[in-house]
Amino acid sequence: MPLLRRLRNLVTTARALSAVDYRLPSEVNTNPAANLNPQGYDLNELGNRLGAAANGFQTAIDGLAAAVPLDAQQNPLLGSLHVETVRAALLALAGFGLPDAVPLSAFGDTLGIRQTLAGQALRVLSVARQQSDLADAALAAAATASLPADRRFGSARQAAQAIFGPSFNPIPRFKPNNVAELQAAAGLRDHAGGQGLLRFHADNPLVVDEWLQSAARKAPPGSARISRTWSRS
């Protein structure tokens, strides 16, 4: 479990790779006036993915709204409420970034249960509609072709987190500029006959632990010197 928690933290907080990570700093021009997309992001593909997610989110919102009939004063009509339909609609939204959408009542059909589910549904709908509006605004900003790619990706990430929750980290596809070099590296990695890049790790049961240790945050500069100073005093 400790390893899984650390891996989850890496996955949900780490910055996504881009074409810039596969070039030397001296080879990359990040001036937006010269190149709006040095990262090589495929932002159209990412926008399509998030657009489909936003449509699915809106469909789930509409399904829950339809499951709770209201009177002219916007109060739920409990006599017309089908509890299993409401539970299913709540669960559909719980699959997005709304953990409070898990039904408070898992079974049964009484007046009290109907009141509980109807009240929960209306609260969830209010939050979900706000999140949907935030996602739509962020997607519109992400589609602005005149903006630098990193800003557009930042807006896309905001849209994804509005839909799926604040810990969601979308991964964009990108096209590197040095394909031949990467293919050569991949060839070394996959070389047969025990000559590949992983030849020293094939039989190591602690390879994941060692990788996590290597990716851990290092001590700040000067900490060793400070420790030695304190040890002498």
End-of-domain residue from the set 131, 164, 197: 164
| Residue 83, both tokens | 């509890």
Looking at the structure, tell me whether residues 119 and 11 fall in a common domain: no
CA–CA separation, 146 and 152 (whole Å): 9
Prediction pTM value: 0.76
- Name residue 69's amino acid: P
Sign of CA pseudo-dihedral 210, 216, 221, 227: negative
pLDDT at site 210: 74
pLDDT at site 163: 97
Looking at the structure, tell me whether residues 222 and 122 fall in a common domain: no
Domain that holds residue 25: 2-40+174-232
Q: For the ranges 19-23, 58-62, 133-137, which has the lowest average pLDDT?
A: 19-23
**Into how many domains does the chain fold?**
2
Looking at the structure, tell me whether residues 90 and 158 fall in a common domain: yes
pLDDT at site 228: 43
Residue range 8-55, pLDDT digits in tens: 777 777 788 888 888 888 888 888 888 899 999 999 999 999 999 999
Residue range 94-123, pLDDT digits in tens: 999 899 999 999 999 999 999 999 999 999
pLDDT at site 111: 95
Residue range 181-204, pLDDT digits in tens: 888 888 877 777 666 766 666 677
Looking at the structure, tell me whether residues 145 and 64 fall in a common domain: yes
pLDDT at site 223: 46
Looking at the structure, tell me whether residues 27 and 61 fall in a common domain: no
Using a pLDDT cut of 90, give the percent of the chain over it: 57
Residue range 139-182, pLDDT digits in tens: 999 999 999 999 999 999 999 999 999 989 899 999 888 888 88
Q: For the ranges 61-65, 208-212, 214-218, 223-227, which has the lowest average pLDDT?
A: 223-227
| Domain annotation covers residue 75 | yes
What are phi and psi for residue 76, nearest 5 degrees?
A: -65, 140
